[in-house]
Amino acid sequence: MEDAATPASGSLPALGSHEECCPIQLLPQDSLHHIFSQLPLRQVLASRCVCRLFRRVLDSPPFLAFLPPLPLLALRHPHRHAPPRPSALHAFDPAHGQWLRFPLSFLPFPSSSPVTASPSLLYLWADPADPKHPSKSLVLCNPLTRSYRVLPQLGSAWSRHGTVLAAPTGHVLLLAELAALWYSPGSPQWLTFSLNLPSKPRSPVLVADAVYALCDVGSPWRSQWKLFSCRLPELGGPRGWDRLERHEWGDVFDILKRPRLVRGRGDGRVLMVGGLRSSFAVDAPCSTVLILRLDLGTLEWDEAGRMPLEMYRCFGGSGAAGGTNKVKVFGGDGRVWFSGKKVRGKLVMWEEDEEVDKGGVVGGGGKWRWVDGVPGYGDGVYRGFNVAKRGLTRLKGEWVDGLDSVWLTEFVLQLITFGQSDNFMAASQLVFLVDYKSASAVAS
């Protein structure tokens, strides 16, 4: 029996056991990238199983950069309903209307609570496994690789009063009332900076290389909110925080009750959400929830959305004073979520108009809808944070121990059995938490 012909050095491997080269193997890699980029993610994942050539092409960093954004909403555990040892993270895929479940049972901590995410990692506050060290620690976790890393030790006050902001580069910023902590990947300790702000920063958001936050500059009897910003390279420097204000803004901060900042689409917009006051009186009731949008390039505000009255009434906002205190606001990347005790088991989602992101007409009302089937936490009020993959991101010092193939196979099968064949596409959502070097194993 004669030996099969050996491919010339540098040629593409044959498809399966066939001796003849398949015509598609003769195409340059750029052409293959263009072809596969036209397919839905479900077909892309399935194509990886065809042959080694397809797997190598679809695993390459240039092709992974073609993948579209995959935003998810991850729920935080209400404080009084946090399980002693959370077994899963619940996340919602707005594109397909599905709730996903990411197991966290591999974490060894007595209790933990997810607080935010970067494009490839989940951040949690965790109680120490060793009772000799009572302070909570901030933990970076990758559910797909079942790996975690404990960041340098912090005092318990930071977990109770600090806000965690995670940058795509792997850096972490922790803001409290008087100081800020900064962590660089691989560093043995946190850097401490004085904030020099008039009050504790409210709902800070990270946009590009700057932090934006609201501060109360009013009196003990009446709040007066102002917008402050600081570029990350200037944190702790002589310039520090700038107070952003324009004469043209008028009373933009006075018309909202308990305003909060939310990151808008892209790196050029910030949303401010709050109850629309019916008058400027201190105890004036609110008529609905208003969403304002700030263009960071022009520093101009416009109205982005207004909650429909029938939705607002479901939160108990019937015009009584303090009605909007019952509405919790969170989100990012052009999506704002609302929860409240009056609407158990569901959320309201507002999505910024795509035309605005494409340079179209500004001032649209956005899209409002109810989201049902929220995993129950008794009568707790839901809170959450956005998780979104944005292109090819590698974190300095990120570890990849390899995927547990048995666990991952069971998890993907669980997604498939949600009830619809198209739910296999939900497996593609796993990319948001996995380093792209090992993300390819999702379809293995």
Question: For residue 436, which of 398, 385, 387, 386 has the smallest C-alpha distance?
Answer: 398
What are the tens digits of pLDDT across the range 164-174? Answer: 999 888 889 99
Q: Are residues 254 and 380 in the same domain?
A: yes
Buried b or exposed e, range 31-66, using 16+ CB within 10 angstroms: ebbeebeeeebbebbebbeebebbbbbbbeeebbee
Residue 10: per-residue pLDDT? 40
What are the tens digits of pLDDT across the range 181-234? Answer: 999 988 889 999 998 899 999 999 999 889 999 999 988 888 899 999 999 988
Q: Is the pLDDT of residue 246 over 80?
A: yes
Average pLDDT, integer, range 319-335: 71
Q: Is the pLDDT of residue 322 over 50?
A: no
Q: Which helix (H) or strand (E) holds 169?
A: none
Confidence grade of residue 45 (pLDDT, cut at 50, 70, 90): low
Q: 189, exposed or middle or buried, with CB in 10 Å at 0-12, 13-18, 19+?
A: exposed
Q: What amino acid is encoded at 259 in this protein?
A: P
Q: Are residues 350 and 424 in the same domain?
A: no
Of the segments 137-151, 309-323, 413-427, which one has the largest average pLDDT value? 137-151
Q: Is the pLDDT of residue 239 over 70?
A: yes
Residue 136 lies in a domain: yes
Average pLDDT, integer, range 381-401: 50
* Phi, psi values for residue 379, rounded to 5°: -100, 20
Overall size of the chain counted in residues: 444
* Phi, psi values for residue 441, rounded to 5°: -70, -5
What are the tens digits of pLDDT across the range 268-278? Answer: 999 999 999 88
Of the segments 46-55, 59-68, 125-134, 219-228, which one has the largest average pLDDT value? 219-228
Residue 408: per-residue pLDDT? 39
Residue 135 CA to residue 156 CA, distance in Å, equals 5
CA distances from 142 to 68, 115, 145, 331, 358 (A): 21, 14, 6, 21, 33
Confidence grade of residue 355 (pLDDT, cut at 50, 70, 90): low
Residue 369 lies in a domain: yes
Which has more pLDDT, 109 or 64? 109
Buried b or exposed e, range 343-358, using 16+ CB within 10 angstroms: beeebbbbbbbeebee
What are the tens digits of pLDDT across the range 394-411? Answer: 333 333 333 333 333 434
- 3-state secondary structure at position 216: strand
Q: Is the pLDDT of residue 38 over 60?
A: yes
Domain of 100, in residue numbers: 69-161+400-444
Average pLDDT, integer, range 231-240: 85
Q: Are residues 284 and 404 in the same domain?
A: no
Residue 210: per-residue pLDDT? 94
Residue 318 lies in a domain: yes
Q: Which two tokens stand for residue 405?
A: 């193939």
Residue 228 lies in a domain: no
pTM (2 decimals)?
A: 0.74
Q: Are residues 335 and 417 in the same domain?
A: no
Q: Pick from 336, 356, 384: which residue ends a domain?
A: 384
Q: Are residues 149 and 92 in the same domain?
A: yes
Mean pLDDT rounded to a whole number for the chain: 75
Confidence grade of residue 379 (pLDDT, cut at 50, 70, 90): low
Q: Is the pLDDT of residue 58 over 60?
A: yes
Residue 77: per-residue pLDDT? 67
Q: Are residues 373 and 264 in the same domain?
A: yes
What is the distance between the terminal CA atoms of the chain, rounded to a whole angstrom?
34
Q: Are residues 328 and 440 in the same domain?
A: no
Q: Are residues 254 and 376 in the same domain?
A: yes
Residue 431: per-residue pLDDT? 34
* Chain position carrying tokens 């850096």: 171
Where does residue 123 fall: left (phi above 0), alpha (psi -120 to 50 degrees), or beta otherwise?
A: beta
Q: Is the pLDDT of residue 18 over 90?
A: no
The DSSP annotation for 317-344 comes to -SS-TTGGGG-EEEEETTEEEEE-TTST
Residue 198: per-residue pLDDT? 92
Residue 86: per-residue pLDDT? 56
Residue 212 lies in a domain: no
Q: 368, exposed or middle or buried, with CB in 10 Å at 0-12, 13-18, 19+?
A: middle
Q: Are residues 378 and 419 in the same domain?
A: no
Residue 365 lies in a domain: yes
Residue 198 lies in a domain: no
Residue 377: per-residue pLDDT? 59
Residue 32 CA to residue 284 CA, distance in Å, equals 61
Q: Are residues 406 and 373 in the same domain?
A: no
Domain count, the chain: 2
Residue 40: per-residue pLDDT? 67
Spatial CB neighbours of 227, under 8 Å, sequence gap ≥ 6: 212, 213, 214, 243, 244, 245, 253, 294
Could you tell me how far CA 354 lies from the centroid of its own chain?
18
Helices 52-59, 29-37: inter-axial angle, 10-degree rounding: 80
Residue 269: per-residue pLDDT? 94
Residue 317: per-residue pLDDT? 62
Q: Are residues 289 and 330 in the same domain?
A: yes
Residue 34 lies in a domain: no
Residue 434 CA to residue 431 CA, distance in Å, equals 5
Residue 204 CA to residue 224 CA, distance in Å, equals 17
Average pLDDT, integer, range 341-353: 88
Q: Which two tokens stand for residue 440?
A: 């390819």
What are the tens digits of pLDDT across the range 104-162? Answer: 888 888 888 889 988 768 899 988 777 666 678 899 887 766 788 999 888 777 888 88
Residue 16: per-residue pLDDT? 45
Please, are residues 330 and 262 in contact by the beta-carbon 8 Å criterion?
yes
Q: What angle do CA 47, 395, 232 make, to 5 degrees?
A: 135
Residue 380: per-residue pLDDT? 56
Confidence grade of residue 443 (pLDDT, cut at 50, 70, 90): very low
Q: Are residues 428 and 352 in the same domain?
A: no
